[in-house]
Amino acid sequence: MSEESLREPEMGLTFEKVWQMFQETDRRMQETDRRMQETDRRMQETDRLIKETELQMKETDRRMQETDRQMQETDRRMKETDRQMQETDRKISKLGSRIGDLVEELIVPNILEKFNKLGYVFGKVAPRVRYQDARGLYVAEVDLLLENGDAVLAGEVKTQLTIADVREHLKRMEKLRLYADEHGDKRKLLGAVAGAIASDNVKAFAVKSGFFVLEQSGDTIRISVPEGFKPREW
């Protein structure tokens, strides 16, 4: 091999080639640095997402605990409401059982005299009269019944009289009329309602329906007869 051949590789490594090698190395180092920065950015983003997820999980846990507390509070209130409703039912039941006492103690002793003054001479009064058909089946129940040879007056007594009570008594009067016809009783039927508590609009509705309205007045009762009132006859 000649001397010229041995020198050829050495002569091929020029300044330009060395400079290109440096530039390529620098480019690769910059690319590596860029990739490392991108990797670091992604790791920071991942770390941020992890922390954010942890915060969301903590918030979710807090909300679940709050929801559980609210549910427990709702359950407690529902139990308290149920207790109050049971107590109210007990009081209403007790109050309802006193309707018979209200009829017998307040209304019965005075009712004949009151109606006699209005020209209705009833000779018989009875509290809590129950009507049954021939088979013994329930037809209707009347809290107060007044009778004479020409007429029968059926009274409904409530501790607190409502429009619904008045409407129900209208239905009751229809049943009593049908019952009387089936038993050959041709006497006219009159109706009355009474309430320890009754608003003006309820009393007005009762009067419009053709009922006498019995109102408490001290230790006795009075019969509300507005001017021009004409009781309905069934």
Q: What residues contact 118, with CB distance under 8 A and at least 6 apart?
A: 223, 225
φ, ψ at 98 (rounded to 5°): -90, -5
Per-residue pLDDT reduced to its tens digit, 29-52: 888 888 889 888 988 998 898 988
Do 143 and 156 form a contact (C-beta atoms < 8 A)?
Answer: yes
Residue positions counted in the chain: 234
For residue 91, what pLDDT band results from cuts at 50, 70 and 90? low
Of 193 and 138, the one with more pLDDT: 193
- Report the pLDDT value the prediction gives residue 136, as an integer from 0 to 100: 80
Per-residue pLDDT reduced to its tens digit, 160-190: 899 999 999 999 999 999 999 999 999 999 9
Angle at which helices 200-208 and 163-182 pack, to 10 degrees?
A: 30
Q: What residues contact 150, with CB distance under 8 A and at least 6 apart?
A: 187, 188
Per-residue pLDDT reduced to its tens digit, 5-23: 445 445 567 878 878 887 8
Least confident of 105-109, 113-117, 140-144: 105-109
Radius of gyration of the chain (CA): 48
- Report the pLDDT value the prediction gives residue 89, as an integer from 0 to 100: 52
The answer, yes or no, to whether residue 95 has pLDDT greater than 80, is no
- Report the pLDDT value the prediction gives residue 148, as an integer from 0 to 100: 93
The answer, yes or no, to whether residue 206 has pLDDT greater than 90, is yes
Of 155 and 14, the one with more pLDDT: 155
Which residues partner with 213 through β-bridges?
193, 224
The answer, yes or no, to whether residue 87 has pLDDT greater than 70, is no
pTM higher than the cut 0.75: no
- Report the pLDDT value the prediction gives residue 97, as an integer from 0 to 100: 47
- Taking CA atoms, 197 is separated from 156, 162, 169, in Å, by 13, 9, 17
